[in-house]
Amino acid sequence: MRTPCIAGNWKLHTNPADAGKLVRELRDVIGAPEGVEVLVFPPFLSVGAAVDAAQGSPVGVGTQDIYHEESGAFTGEVAPGMALAAGCSHTLIGHSERRTYFGETNGSVRMKVDACIKAGLKAIVCVGETLEQRENKTTFEVISDQVRTALEGLNAASLSDLMIAYEPVWAIGTGKTATPEQADEVHVFIRNLVDELHGKDAAGAMRILYGGSVKPDNVDGLMACEHIDGALVGGASLKADSFARIVQFSR
């Protein structure tokens, strides 16, 4: 059985004080949820406050991006070992906003995946097609390139430290969610790809999250799909009540 994971991507929101407050509110509302992993991804400078506020709770903390080197002359970057030392368990890699605004490529995503595995930082690798790609009917080609480049040739044991988030770019922050059928179709495709690359066991164990305008009122329909193992939530993760409702999804 794959333990569902509900992850909040706070993007460029929450200063340290806000992040600490939001984690404390979240702990109060979710209590000790059974059978679900809960993660939040604050901006780098707010990670420390979130980690302090999450001590002794089921909420895990991660970074929104990471660099592929452990140290050196790389102004502005943060290394996997530093994220671990700051109390993070996870990082996001290759979010579409990083790809669109900051030049992230499939190649740089792979370097980050390798660096995280080496350091022992768990990662959620984000993939997804743009509206243009969906309309051109190249969704599966795009997803295939993204997933293959990220996972091909990895040692099967390290796959357990990875999750994949399918986030159609046209659904992020737009209020347009993929229907459960549209999302599940791509999730099945991704699982089959993991099977092709790493075999049945790895494919069966890989958690594939959906992201893109997940809200309290659509989470249950999405989570009802067999191959949707959780959600990566942007806007609706910034309020403790709405994020808590998503954590308390029913299947």
Annotated active-site residue 77? The verdict is no
52 class by beta-carbon count within 10 Å (0-12 exposed, 13-18 middle, 19+ buried): middle
Handedness of CA 218, 35, 12, 67 (dihedral sign): negative
Q: Candidates 58-66, 108-116, 185-193, 210-218 — which segment interacts with ligand PGA by CB under 6 A? A: 210-218
Q: Phi and psi dihedrals of 205, rounded to 5?
A: -90, -20
Residue 14 CA to residue 239 CA, distance in Å, equals 11
Site string for ligand PGA, 165-204 (x = CB under 6 A): --x----xx-------------------------------
212 in contact with ligand PGA (CB under 6 A)? yes
Among positions 115, 142, 234, 249, the unique one binding ligand PGA when judged by CB under 6 A: 234
Site string for ligand PGA, 122-151 (x = CB under 6 A): ------------------------------
232 in contact with ligand PGA (CB under 6 A)? yes
Name which of 85, 78, 92, 33 is nearest 58 in CA terms: 33
Q: Candidates 105-113, 116-124, 128-136, 208-216 — which segment interacts with ligand PGA by CB under 6 A? A: 208-216
Name which of 113, 73, 80 is nearest 94 in CA terms: 113
Annotated active-site residue 167? The verdict is yes
Tell me how crowded residue 175 is: count the other CB atoms within 10 A of its CB.
Answer: 9
Contacting residues toward ligand PGA, per CB under 6 A: 9, 167, 172-173, 211-214, 232-236
